[in-house]
Structure 1
Amino acid sequence: MNTKTVTASAAGAFELGDLPVNRIGFGAMRLTQSGAAFGNGVPSDRGRAIGVLRRAVELGVNHIDTASFYFSALRSANELINSALAPYPDDLVIVTKVGPGRDPSGEWLWAGPEQLRGQVEENLRQLGRDHLDVVNLRIPRSMASSSIAEHFGALADLRDAGMIRHLGVSNVTPAHLAEAQAIAPVVCVQNAYGIGARSEDHEFLRACGEQGIAFVPFFAIAGTGRETGASVAESEEVLAVARAHGVTAAQVRLAWTLQCGPHVLAIPGTGNPDHLAENVAAGALRLSEEEMTRLGCVQRSGR
């Protein structure tokens, strides 16, 4: 596959509410540092990070996922995005998330409902925007069986005030989604998902598609490596499919994820321009039904 000739449009498109985006997007988390787990690495080269963002847009990426808490000792993902891309292209959709944050001492915290407005305003300032396209409410594991109504209601109020255009939820259960939908429309679910996902995760993905809600997997390439990246040995099944197509294992994982439903949006992140081109090119890779089933996903219609 000639990665230099493939653009993000090869993956097709879907809508976040009324905002059309190509199904291959870009995740900004890895822009701020090199190596190690999130928050503990060496600050990235600023010029290279800005170059990657500009190249992503040149390759047709019009969906960028970010957050104000994506930063290292010297780098802020939102600041990099602002510096690289403002004034923003008309078709660029920037999705951010709130919930996690840091207190004045630098310790991580989870925002209460009354703190979410401050986090939204922080994203607005850093990105240099007067409204946010999509804001995801990120749920901590400790709230897996708790109500999110108060938190999501606070964001719905900010949506009504014009600060946010659309709302989504992240790291949630089907019960959380139903609870949120009773308060305000939900345009996307952003959960961990990829090859090796549990049967209930496959079912949740399909249920989102039936409702016309975008499903946005994170760690689609990293898998169990999560924030540290794809650091574990790759499975022979994935390697065999990669060899058959002459592509990388990461490209197989992205293609598999996209083919699990037409409503699935990928947001692979990288600070490497070569990896960026490979990730975008994965949107043109088509796996056979037999390969999809072998890797663990039965293709079904998303609507």
Structure 2
Amino acid sequence: MPPTSSPASPDAPGGPVAAPRPGGTAPFAGRTVSRIGYGAAQLGRRRGDRDAALALVRQAIDHGVDHIDTAQFYGDGYANEILRDAIGPEDDVMIVSKVGATANPGGRVPLRLAQQPKELRACVEDNLTALGVDRIPVVNLRRLDAGPGLRPEGDQVVDLDDQLAEMTAMRDEGKIGGIGLSGVGIDGLRRAIPAGLACVQNAYSLVCRDDEELLRLCAAEGIAWVPFFPLGGNVFPGMPKPTDEPAVRTVADSLGVTPSQVGLAWLLHHAPNVLLIPGTGDPAHLEANLAVGDITLDAAAMAALDAVESRSSDVPLG
């Protein structure tokens, strides 16, 4: 895993020659990263084949991916375990984790909320230990104000300012680098901007564009926009999927690519601050995701896709 201080970027003069970064590059938390990263949530599908899980992460890195999204609750720690063993300091990979929930193995809902400041700190410590580092470059606070899934109740209803105070304290202590927000609404985003934000992770796709105002604000403020469920999510049967749209299928057929690739390509074309973190446990699917960076959508294709009706992503879990 990368140490506290990262080695020189491949972009630096005299630095190592790196693979072309998929999707081109964009700024993120003071660095320049590939616009297509990798989401580690599905590494758990390789739990029975550790070598395959390690190889999948190495495959992404060897293809130029230099930022990976994870969380200690992904696979109840399995994803972080794989990342710790698959990535070395020489890879100069930015690890982005998240807090606000813990794993709930065997439960109807696989997550248990952990929104209190002391719980956020404990989650950061768990990530540090599992990843084998003393600093995580970016940590997202998983709020539950917007988008699909759980909503906090009882002592899990915590004021955002109290959470940001704890996140800022951990940043000042050097335990985390940038602070991100996930599942945040427009009011929360405006309140949080003065604290300094690296990114926002919200559910967002071609067919779920509820958060267009947030996206524009992030672009204006230099905050990366990292959509999750960019193609819908099987966890949420009611969430619309871009691949079901006739316009998406028509564009895919015309370009000789898959509807999934068109859905991801639209995101890259839609706004320059979009970073993708598609997840997969399959090597061929990973290759297809990374190839999205080579897809060009012309004005006619973008017009047809932009005309697709947007529906809400705010659906319950289960």
Q: TM-score range by the shorter chain?
A: 0.7 to 0.9
**1:186 aligns to 2:188 (yes or no):** no
TM-aligned CA deviation for residue 249 of structure 1 = 1.1
Identify which of 45, 55, 64 aligns with 1:60: 64
**1:254 aligns to 2:269 (yes or no):** no
**What code does the residue aligned with 2:234 have?**
G
Report what 1:25 is aligned to. 37
Identify which of 129, 132, 136 aligns with 1:128: 132
**1:212 aligns to 2:222 (yes or no):** yes
For the Cα contact (< 8 Å) 1:27–1:270, is it kept in 2? yes
* Most deviating of 211-220 and 25-34: 25-34
Alpha-carbon distance in 1 for matches of 2:180, 2:243? 33
Q: Percent identity?
A: 40
Alpha-carbon distance in 2 for matches of 1:294, 1:155? 42
**1:239 aligns to 2:237 (yes or no):** no
Residues 69-113 of structure 1 deviation map (CA, whole Å, 9 limit, x = unaligned): 0015xx61000111111x233531000000011479977233311
Give structure 1 regions of 4+ aligned residues with deviation exceeding 6 angstroms. 103-107, 227-233
Rate the CA distance shift 1:138–1:8 in 2: closer, same or farther, 3 A.
farther
**What code does the residue aligned with 2:274 have?**
V
Alpha-carbon distance in 2 for matches of 1:232, 1:240? 12
Rate the CA distance shift 1:46–1:297 in 2: closer, same or farther, 3 A.
farther
Count of residues in correspondence between the two structures: 278
For the Cα contact (< 8 Å) 2:39–2:280, is it kept in 1? yes
TM-aligned CA deviation for residue 196 of structure 1 = 0.8
Aligned Cα root-mean-square deviation (Å): 2.7
TM-aligned CA deviation for residue 17 of structure 1 = 2.0
**Secondary structure of 2:26's aligned partner:** strand
Alpha-carbon distance in 2 for matches of 1:118, 1:80? 21
For the Cα contact (< 8 Å) 2:206–2:242, is it kept in 1? no
Report what 1:71 is aligned to. 75
For the Cα contact (< 8 Å) 2:54–2:85, is it kept in 1? yes
TM score, norm. by length of structure 1: 0.84
**Secondary structure of 2:222's aligned partner:** coil
For the Cα contact (< 8 Å) 2:114–2:120, is it kept in 1? no
Identify which of 214, 225, 228 aligns with 2:234: 225
For the Cα contact (< 8 Å) 1:8–1:23, is it kept in 2? no
Gaps in structure 2 of 5+ consecutive residues = 1-18, 146-150, 309-318
Gaps in structure 1 of 5+ consecutive residues = 1-6, 35-42, 299-303
* Most deviating of 43-52 and 144-153: 144-153
**1:285 aligns to 2:295 (yes or no):** yes
**Secondary structure of 1:167's aligned partner:** strand
TM score, norm. by length of structure 2: 0.80
**1:112 aligns to 2:116 (yes or no):** yes
Rate the CA distance shift 1:99–1:237 in 2: closer, same or farther, 3 A.
same
Alpha-carbon distance in 2 for matches of 1:127, 1:297? 43
Report what 1:197 is aligned to. 208
